[in-house]
Amino acid sequence: MKDKLLKGFLFFHLCIVVLGSGLMKFSDNKVFDGLMLRYSSWTGGGFGYSFFSPNVGNQTVVKTYTLIGHKTLKQDAFGTGRDILDCRFSSVLHTFRNHKAYELMSRVVASYIFAKYPNAGPTYISIGEYMPPTMSEYRLSRKKNQFREICNGTYTYK
């Protein structure tokens, strides 16, 4: 009996893994999605595995230019994989690709900048992506990636 229960549970678990993997689109039913989310939030089964698909695309990067004490311009970048904080921040940036989310994230970045530089003046925040050169351009001249701005804003403390 115990053996059958175990087998039954593991079979059920693997079914959830298949259903949640994104391999097949079964339903847009909210009840179904809710059940899947409930199960995965306790067992870790039922996540999607579609990494870098259908395309790799360009990752979003946030650049900030902050005026410190009316004379020094400090430049920072987020989403460049510098450390774990930056990597995880990138993950948020890539989750939402719309103007409202960019604006919200700009505010979060601005609050981080003002905490980092207590005497900061205005900070210009630029959200964009790096466009790679073509392979032949890189081979010929080691051409660098070009930054293409998607959204920007200027923020001040107070």
Looking at the Cβ atoms of 11 and 72, the one nearer to another protein is: 11
Asked whether position 13 contacts another protein by CB under 8 A, the answer is yes
Q: What backbone torsions phi and psi does residue 129 show, to the nearest 5 degrees?
A: -140, 155
44: left (phi over 0), alpha (psi -120 to 50) or beta: left
Q: Identify the bridge partners of residue 66 per DSSP, sorted by sequence position.
A: 74, 123
Minimum Å gap between C-beta 18 and another protein is: 6
Asked whether position 31 contacts another protein by CB under 8 A, the answer is no
Asked whether position 126 contacts another protein by CB under 8 A, the answer is no
What is the DSSP code (8-state) at residue 158? -
Sheet holding 72-78, edge to edge: 72-78, 60-68, 120-131, 146-155
CA angle 123, 95, 37 (to 5 degrees): 140
Maximum pairwise Cα distance, the chain: 76
User: Per-residue x/- marks for another protein, 64-93, CB under 8 A?
Assistant: -------------x-xxx-xxx-xxxxxx-
Minimum Å gap between C-beta 79 and another protein is: 6
Minimum Å gap between C-beta 87 and another protein is: 7
Name the site residues for another protein (rule: CB under 8 A). Answer: 3, 6-7, 10, 13-14, 17-18, 21-23, 37-38, 41-45, 47-59, 61, 77, 79-81, 83-85, 87-92, 95, 104, 108, 112, 130, 132, 135-136, 138-139, 145
